[in-house]
Structure formats: C-alpha cells, structure tokens
Structure 1
Amino acid sequence: MLIIPKVSIIIPVYNGEQFLERCLESVSSQTYKNIEIIIINDGSTDNTKNICELYLQKEPRARVIHKKNGGVSISRNIGLDLAIGEYIYFVDADDYVLQNGIERLVNKAIRNLADLVVAEYYVAYDTKKTKISPLNIKKSNDFLCSILSGKNHSALWNKLFSRRLFDEIKFPADVCYIEDKVLISQILMTYQPKIDFLNAPVYVYWQYEQSVTNSNDRRVMDILAAHINIESYLDEFTVDENIRTAFASSTYSCLWFILTTVDKQFLEEAVIIAKQHIEDMRKYRKYSALSPKVRFLLLSLKLPVGIAIPAIKTMRKGLDQLSSARRQARR
C-alpha cells in the first residue's frame, strides 16, 4: 500500500508583502500534494493580511492565523499546536521551496525511516545562487557538535521533522534570533533522532541587506539567551565532552562577537547579561582553549559593571583603529 503521509508546512510572516506571494505560490505548486499550509501573520502592518486572505480563497489546504506581534518563536509554536501532519516543515516568508522539495524530503524519510532529513539548499543574493551541501553526519551527538560549532547550519528550512520530535519541545518564546539552534539542539539531545541526508537542494534562501541582523539591532543579544537555553539542556541531557567542547567554543566566540559589535546603546545591558552568563559558564571553561582576546574579555567581565564597560569600550576602539589601519594598508 502506498504511504502518503500529510506534511504540515508552517510559515510565520511579519510585514512580508514584498516576497510572500512568491513563497506561497512555491508551496501551492509542490509536486507532493498531501500538505496543509499554516500561515501565522505576526501582527503585520503592511499588506500581508490582504495577501493571506486572497490566498485562502484559492488554496483550500491553507489556514491563516492573524495575531498580535509576538515574534517568530511564538508564531511557530502556534503553528505546531495546529499542525496535524505526520511531518513538519518550516518555511520563511521571504524564501521559496523548490517544486519537488517536499516530495524528495518525504520519500527519503519514508525510505530510510528517518525522523530528521537534512537536505541541500541554495543561498541566493541578487542574481547569484550558490548550492550548499551540509556535512553528512548521521549520529545525533556528532550532528549536534556540527550545529553548535557552525559547521552545519541550524536553519529549519532545509530539514523535514517527524511530528513526534515536537511532542515535548517547543521554540523558546524569549528567543527570536538563532532560535532554530536552540530548538534543534534540544531535539537532538532529547530524542537522539535517526538522521538522514538528501543530496539534492530543496529550498532557496534569499539574503537581503535589510534581512540580516546587524549590530544596531537589539536582537543580536538573543544570541546570549539562546546559549543560556542550550546550556540548561546540556546540564540535563548530556555529559558528552565533544558536545560540551563545541558548546563552550561557540559561546565564547558569540560573547566576543556581541560585546565587540553590539550598538553602544545596548552595551551596558549586554555586559550585565554576559557577566551572569560567564558565571554560569565556569564549569565549561576547561573545555575551551581560550584565545588571548577572549581571556582579556573575560577578565573585563569580572570587573564591576561601571569599570567593565569603559574597559570594553577601550578595547572596541582599539579594534576599530586596527581594522581601519588594515584597510588603509590594503589600498
């Protein structure tokens, strides 16, 4: 008997009028037909609501939820609560799915009894598309190390999930940036799912200047919140030294990035959060070979906030001057 499981496709959107129609059309035109399409309009203030309502009139497999703005994690959780499919697939509203993407993912999952299928994808910028092939790592702990270290992308849209992986896990409501890294880390630690890889692209991830989080955006500090969430799961679910090493290296690199790039209006808040996080990270210190620059940063964070902030500002000024000198030297 031919098995045709339902796939729940969850699409959160906020002010997505520029690309939403392209995204929805790519989902409707999938060669795999047994899908439900759950669109969560997260309090958009542009024409997104009208686009969604028009889409409903021509797509009977779709449902739309209009809600107050609360962030992508809450939107996806609403989608998970509504989903009835045996598989879950997430799409971002400014990207699109290749026409046979869902079919290829489902076939791979069924054929190899996989709980999580990871596929190739394209990164697009202007007219250029580059195919990305994830590292084929099938053991859960090793795959988690690759996610924590950044060797494999934590993005959701190149992955098909078995519905059971969300029985006890949801997106962290307080994290709206790299929330996918938190979720996948929790899934891998909790369920140790069977992982398989699809050597074919299923998705086109568009990069736009306005869509990239920058240092002026307070969301960059969600990186700290994300690592705090992951740490709580590490303490509960694993003693694997490779995972702890990957986590420690990732955390210290992120601390450096945040405190040297976050806009100065958020620096004090970032320092206060980082100081607490560093205390919680003491038990991981032995797992990471700290560079001199990170050691200096950690020493600065040991100081009272009123002294730590000027020290970090001085360090940032020195880094800016060094970068400027290097740019001049290359001319």
Structure 2
Amino acid sequence: MVYINYSLKSKYIKLNISLKEKTLFSIIVPVYNVEKYLDKCLASILRQTFKNFECIIIDDGSPDNSNAIIDKYVKLDQRFKVIHQKNMGISVARNAGLDIAKGEYVVFVDSDDYIADDYLEKFALKIADTDADIVICGFIEDYKDYEKNKVFTAESTEVIKQNLLADVWPSYVWNKCYKKDLFGDIRFPIGMVYEDLLTIPAVCLNAKRIECIPDKLYYYNRQNVNSITAQKTVKKLYDLFLGRMKNRRLAVERNVDCLKALDKIIVKETMKCLFRQYNDNELFEAQEQEICASLKERLDKSEINGLRNRFWVKMLLAKRKKLCAWYARFRGYC
C-alpha cells in the first residue's frame, strides 16, 4: 500500500484497490545469455507491490543457464510465462512479447537490468490520476564503482515529444509505461542495433498525454560488457544515422519543433560514422553515399557551424580517407 501523506492516505488506498481490480500490466523481458544478471531481474519483478501483472519472458535461444532460471520463476508464479524461440535478436523477441501481451499497459525490462519494488505501482497511480497514455520515470545507471541518476520533468506533452525526437531525452524502451494500443502496427525493426530509437519516438507521437514521475525506479546495468550497444562499430553508427533520419522525417510530418536540435546531433554522428568508415571500411558504397548526401545537404544549407567542423566535413566529402582515418584514431573514434 502507498503512504503519500495522512490526508491523501484514504484516497490512495481506494485508488490502489480499484487499480488492482481493473489494470493489467504486461512486462516484456527478452532474454539472451544473461545468466549472471537474470535472477536479480526476475526477482525484482516478483517483488512488485502492484500485483496485477503478467511477465512475458522471451528466451531468444540462450545457450547458457538462463533457461533454468526462467523455469524456476515460471514454476514459482503463474504470472510468469515463457516463449522459447531460436536466436533471432532482441527486436523479434520484443515483438513476440507484444503480440501476445494481454495488458492494457506494457512495460519493457531488459534482462540484465532490474526495477524498484514499487515500479508498477508508481506507474499505476500516475495513470489513475492523469489518464496518461505514457508515463516516464527516472533511472539509475549502475556502473561498477558508482551510479548516475537521471530524472525527467517537462511542462507539457508537446515538450516531451520534442525532447524524445531530438534525443534530448533518451528514447530507451525501458523506464516507460505505454498504453498498448499506441503500438498499433508499430513493431521493433529486425536486424537493427538502435531499435529503440527507430520505434519509441513514433509510439510517443501517438500519445495524447505523456506524464513524468520524478522517482528513480529503473536500474540500468552499465556493467554488462556483452551488451549490444557496449561497443560502437561503423554498422551500429549507420543504424543510429538511419534512426535519426527517420525521426527527422517524423518531426517534419507531425510538425514537431525540434529540427534545429536534431540536425546538430545528425551532423555530429554522421561525421563520426564517416570517420570510422574511412578507417574500418565496413559499409557498402550505397550506404556511404547516403551518409555523404545527408552531410552535404547540411553543409550546403550552412547548418554546420565552426571552421574546424566545416573543414573536416569537406575532407570527409572529398574522401581524403588517409587524413580522415588518422583523425578518427587521434580523436579516439576507433
């Protein structure tokens, strides 16, 4: 039960009873090779103070001992369900969970992370108070020897959408609760590294109301060196570029005022991608040309500020590969 203060206590007791009867949350947990962290993740879900949930675990062909840990929780509590599939990647796993989710609201938890005991309860209370389509909470980045805290506040839903599209706020799929209907036919793209970036902004644009809660309720594991995004390659940077460009098109189509901020990020990351490409040569020629065309467009429109930036953009577009490869190593891009 939640204790906010004495005057509001009876209101929240009634609210909790009502929510427990009416609101079902679907928690989607994709699993691959995380036996070191998985028990802590699932235990945090089992401890939820808000009890009306289903936990859909997608075993994405894990070759380690993750299966045994999953089976323990499925036998322990009927709210835990498992889908076994051959290894097809995190996007396929999340999509599989979405396709069978019965909850009115869905949340995603990565299997090497964990959540606060009142994670769902805080979401449910905010939804009951505001009828929000999406609720965003703060999170803690858990490093080996220290932590970083991130909390989000905004004056309106429109500002939140601007922040997510321009990546002022990270468009992680976790640390958010979504009304399931917002996804419609939107699904995570298969074979892409930054699948969150290519999905969550579009989902958020479908929301009529987005709310934030100041509590830090999600624990993001920064210690897992095997995480997909732990090491950036040219291919990953290219996927990031595609995500940024998709969000730019969405901003134009939906008339979201964030292009100036988004273009600065696109220029910076496009340059970094080309520097690494000229050092590692991993992209196809058509992909390289696509990136160059975007950078040239921004150079022609004078969207690139600073003499040094303009100089290096011209070197990149002129394909001064040896010079650019040296600069990439000098700046630690490789």
Q: Same fold (TM over 0.5)?
A: yes
Instruction: Give the Å deviation of 1:231.
Output: 4.1
Residue-pair matches, total: 311
Q: Which moved more, 1:28-37 or 1:148-157?
A: 148-157
Stretch of structure 1 that moved more, 107-116 or 278-287: 278-287
Once the two structures are TM-superposed, the CA of residue 145 in structure 1 deviates from its matched residue by: 2.7
1:25-44 matches, within 5 Å, as 25-44=43-62
CA distance 1:3–1:55, shift in 2 (3 Å):
closer
Paired residues of 2:115 and 2:219 also in contact (CA < 8 A) = yes
Cα distance in 2, alignment partners of residues 287 and 75 from structure 1:
42
Cα–Cα, structure 1 residues 127 and 8, in superposed 2: closer, same or farther, change >3 Å? same
| Contact 2:182/2:207 (8 A) holds in 1 | no
Aligned to 1:181, what secondary structure does the other structure show?
Answer: coil
Aligned to 1:157: 174
Mapped to 2, the partners of 1:261 and 1:22 lie a distance apart of 37
Distance in 1 between residues matched to 2:233 and 2:39, nearest whole Å: 29
| Counterpart secondary structure, 1:38 | strand
Q: 1:143 aligns with which of 160, 185, 193?
A: 160
Instruction: Pick closer, same or farther for the CA change 1:20–1:253 going to 2, 3 Å.
Output: same
Tell me what 1:273 maps to.
287
Residue 50 of structure 1 deviates from its aligned partner by 2.3
Quickly say closer, same or farther: Cα 1:153–1:268, change in 2 above 3 A: closer
The whole-number CA distance in structure 1 between the counterparts of 2:167 and 2:193 is 18
Cα deviation digits, residues 7-42 of structure 1 (max 9, x gap):
000011111111001100100110010000011112
Unaligned runs of 5+ in 1: 324-331
Instruction: Name 1:245's counterpart in structure 2.
Output: 260
Aligned to 1:3: 19
User: What is the alpha-carbon distance in structure 2 between the residues aligned to residue 103 and residue 253 of structure 1?
Assistant: 40
- Say if 1:122 and 1:132, in contact at 8 Å, map to a contact too: yes
Q: Which runs of 4+ in 1 moved over 6 A?
A: 281-285
Q: Which string of whole-angstrom CA distances, capped at 9 and with x for unpartnered residues, describes residues 96-118 of structure 1?
A: 01001110011101211111111
Contact 2:189-2:198 at 8 Å conserved across structures: yes
> Relative to structure 2, which stretch is displaced further, 199-208 or 219-228?
219-228
TM-score (norm 2): 0.83
Which amino acid in 2 is paired with 1:180? D
Pairs within 5 Å for 1:63-212: 63-140=81-158, 142-177=159-194, 179-189=195-205, 191-208=206-223, 210=225, 211=227, 212=229
Name the CA distance, whole Å, in 1 between partners of 2:278 and 2:37.
Answer: 29
Deviations 1:260-288 (A, max 9, x none): 346944x3517642421443577766483
Give the deviation of 1:148 after TM superposition.
Answer: 3.8
Q: Is the 8 A contact 2:28 2:106 kept in 1?
A: yes
Over aligned residues, Cα RMSD in angstroms? 2.7
1:260 to 267, 271, 275: 275
**Residue identity opposite 1:22 in structure 2:** K
* Equivalent residues of 2:27, 2:56 under 8 A apart: yes
Is structure 2 residue 68 aligned with structure 1 residue 50? yes
Kept after mapping to 2: 8 A contact 1:145/1:246? no
Asked if the contact 2:37/2:113 (under 8 Å) is kept, the reply is yes
What's 1:295 paired with? 310
Contact 2:58 2:84 in 1 (8 A): yes
CA distance in 2, matches of 1:214, 1:270: 20
- How far 1:319 moved relative to its partner? 5.2
2:74/2:80 contact within 8 Å kept: yes
| Structure 2 counterpart SS, 1:105 | helix
| Structure 2 CA distance for aligned equivalents of residues 230 and 188 of structure 1 | 11
Shift, 1:300, TM fit? 4.4
CA distance in 2, matches of 1:39, 1:270: 36
Q: Distance in 2 between matches of 1:246 and 1:130?
A: 24
**What is the distance in 2 between the residues matched to 1:28 and 1:131?**
24
TM-score by length of 1: 0.83
Verify the 8 A CA contact 2:59 2:85 in the aligned structure 1: yes
- What letter is aligned with 1:276? E
CA displacement at 1:216 relative to structure 2: 4.7
My pick for the range that moved more, 121-130 or 111-120, is: 121-130
8 A contact 1:155–1:180 mirrored in 2:
yes
